[in-house]
Amino acid sequence: KPKGAVPTEYPVGYFTSATGITIYLGDAYPKRFHGNAFIGDVGGNLVHRKTIDREGIQHVAKRADEGTEILRSRDNWFRPVNFVNAPDGSLYVLDMYRETIEHPYSIPEEIKAFLDLTSGRDRGRIYRLVSPDMKRRAVPNLGAMTSQQLVKQLGSPNVWNRRTAQRLLWERGDKSIAGEIRSFLSVCENPTGRLHCLFTLDGLGLITVADLKKGLSDPHPRVIANTVKLCKQFAATDDEGQILKLVLGVDSVNPHVQFQLAFALGEFADDEVASAIAQLMQKNANNQIVMNAALTSVGNNAHLVADKVLSKQEYRRSSGGRAVLEQLAVVLGSSKEETHIAYLLSSCLDPSIEFAVQQSVLAGLGEGLNRRGSSLQKLVAAAVTSDSIRDSFRESFERAINKATDTDAAEAERLAAVQLLRFNSSDGILDSLASLLSARESQQIQLAAVDSLLGQSDPSSSEPLVKNWSRFSPVVRRNIIVGLVSNKSRIPTLFDALESDVIKSSDIDRDIKQQLLQSQDANTKQLAQKWLDAEIDSDRAKVVENYQDVLDLESNDARGFEVFKKRCAVCHRVGETGNAIAPDLNSVQNKSEADLLISILDPNREAQPNFNVYSVITEQGQVISGIIKSETTASLTLQQAGGKSQVILRSNVDVLRSTGLSLMPEGLEKDLSKQDLADVIRFVKSIKPLEK
């Protein structure tokens, strides 16, 4: 391909800019379109359509139109940004209509000089999306209808009619219409219409126990699931237990119903709730989404729910049962209910409980306690713990040491034992963990030992990691470095090792160097500037300009794959290689080689905000950096380069700040030759698009 030639073929199946995701719920199109997702791609001048599989709790979308799109335009000013389900059952398309849709920052200055970035600001329009033979139909004037007539519209096949009728009934506040709504609820054939009836009654403040009972006995599982949602709001006033009795009586195994039950049970304060949650968890042991919902409902009953699970011998022995117990223990350990935690600790250390089960509970409690700045050892030493529990605790960890160091044991059992040792620094544990750093051990055992050593409160646990540095593989080395820089008390160990030349600057990946060089701690930053190659040119545009000859080099995708594995796989995944943290490389294949060079050398020029790095300093001085993977009201989860996830309780956060920088570090030219850059660009361009 001649240098500078414009490519004529691009990978398909990826958005350049997805906007206005709208589910079509009208009745003017053929049935196969109902429930489809319509998405605008303003960069591609098209509207894309997907079918949606709603059987599971997580919906799965698939391309609906092969080799074409539902709507496409030759007019490159066509910018579909949003959609509306219309009164006539069709879909309205909002066209922003602009000459230039790209962000000014992403347009080179030499091109920007010839553009009017505001051209089209007076030309927006709305289209009605119809087929050539579709006839316009009259739209009923719902505002002029009586309340009785509006009730019938709640069952309309067109979503605009249903929602507008419900809104008008709410706005009118006509409570005399309750009988009409209940009568229609009994005869409406449209399950969505029956839902509108129930929610209209609720919005008018007229819903009764009888109405909820009717919804919970509906033949359609989605009506049942949504009625369960309605039941939640009455939990606080359910003095006689009528609503709880209805909820506990729901026996549908449909995943949507189970999902809503998992949330609803937590709203009720009753002794029966713990048993119900335990049963629901057992029933959904293989459905992590329902399990996560149930975990939000255990509240102050976590110890009771765990006790119910522990009482079921066959279930607690299963891998699913142990996983449930570990998650419950994490929830309980994260709380400040010391008496409840001691209760679970005592229950799990009972001689009748299997060692594998004890390990799961102890590991969960240890993780939860660590998240809030406490530890298992502090708990065991506290007054709420008896001498017999302390003896059983010590015996469990002695068994864990024996299992971890038993080379004849199954690796899965050894890993569980090694991971448990992280939560205790009693005599013999550090030496046992250090013995597992041998090259004779598998990488998984070594990594688990590294994590457990770095999880110890004793700073001396870092010593065997530095002492054995020359024996470790690159993967193990990275885990050690990440662990050292994640704790203020261990950072000096890293710089001491750099000073003594045990660890070399070249052993540290660029993203970690960037983290240290931008540290908010003045001493850490000063030492990083002293021992790490800090001479990164801040003028990234100049760097890009100086590396333009990379585009003229002969390149090889096989060599590029080796560069990818060494420098990129820590965040990017291709096939079975690497970690799926950063953007999917399939999605950048429509970029030119020149654009890819810019993305590598100047990663912050057009970085996606959801891949910006955040830094968290905990109350204990732990420093954790990564992208925010998920958030709840109680915690946030950071995804780190290398694939690790860290859950941090908000109550344990001292400082949270955005670095404003991409997860991909600047200065990669310090680690890659020009030939390396040419080869890795060639490799990225050679990746075959995934089938959609």
For the ranges 74-78, 326-330, 516-520, the lowest mean pLDDT is seen at: 516-520
pLDDT reported for residue 136? 86
Query: Cα separation of 675 and 669, whole Å?
Result: 11
pLDDT at 240 exceeding the cut of 60 = yes
Contact 41, 16 (CB under 8 A): yes
**306 pLDDT tier (thresholds 50, 70, 90):** very high
**534 pLDDT tier (thresholds 50, 70, 90):** low
pLDDT at 538 exceeding the cut of 80 = no
What are 363-375's pLDDT values in tens digits?
Answer: 999 999 998 888 9
pLDDT reported for residue 623? 84
Contact 570, 510 (CB under 8 A): no
What are 311-368's pLDDT values in tens digits?
Answer: 999 999 999 899 999 999 999 999 888 889 999 999 999 999 999 999 999 999 999 9
Q: φ, ψ for residue 87 (rounded to 5)?
A: -60, -30
pLDDT reported for residue 2? 46
- Edge-to-edge strands of the sheet including 612-618? 645-649, 635-639, 623-631, 612-618, 653-662
Contact 648, 631 (CB under 8 A): no
Domain chopping of the chain, boundaries: 18-129, 142-207, 390-472, 553-686
- Higher local confidence (pLDDT), 685 or 152: 152
What are 640-678's pLDDT values in tens digits?
Answer: 887 788 888 888 888 888 888 888 888 888 889 999 999
What are 413-471's pLDDT values in tens digits?
Answer: 999 999 999 999 887 899 999 999 999 999 999 999 999 999 998 888 999 999 999 99
Two structure tokens written together for 438: 């041998």
Q: Beta-carbon neighbour count of residue 114 at 10 Å?
A: 6
pLDDT reported for residue 458? 83
pLDDT reported for residue 5? 43
Percent with pLDDT over 70 in the chain: 96
CATH architecture under which domain 553-686 falls: Roll (2.30)
Query: Cα separation of 560 and 138, whole Å?
Result: 62
pLDDT reported for residue 533? 66
Mean pLDDT of the chain: 90
**495 pLDDT tier (thresholds 50, 70, 90):** very high
**586 pLDDT tier (thresholds 50, 70, 90):** confident
pLDDT at 613 exceeding the cut of 80 = yes
| Dihedral, 295, 297, 301, 303 alpha carbons, nearest 10 | 0
pLDDT at 10 exceeding the cut of 70 = no
Angle, vertex CA 686, rays to CA 682 and CA 690, nearest 5:
145
**N- to C-terminal Cα separation, the chain:** 28
pLDDT reported for residue 428? 87
The bridge status of strand 653-662 relative to strand 60-63 is unpaired
List, in order, residues 6 or more apart from 180 with CB less than 8 Å away.
147, 148, 151
What are 82-133's pLDDT values in tens digits?
Answer: 999 999 999 999 999 998 887 777 677 777 778 888 888 888 999 999 988 8
Is the Cα dihedral 382, 384, 389, 393 positive or negative?
A: negative
What average pLDDT does range 584-591 have in this prediction? 75
**536 pLDDT tier (thresholds 50, 70, 90):** confident
**692 pLDDT tier (thresholds 50, 70, 90):** very low
pLDDT reported for residue 7? 47
Query: Cα separation of 634 and 28, whole Å?
Result: 45
Percent with pLDDT over 90 in the chain: 61
pLDDT reported for residue 551? 93
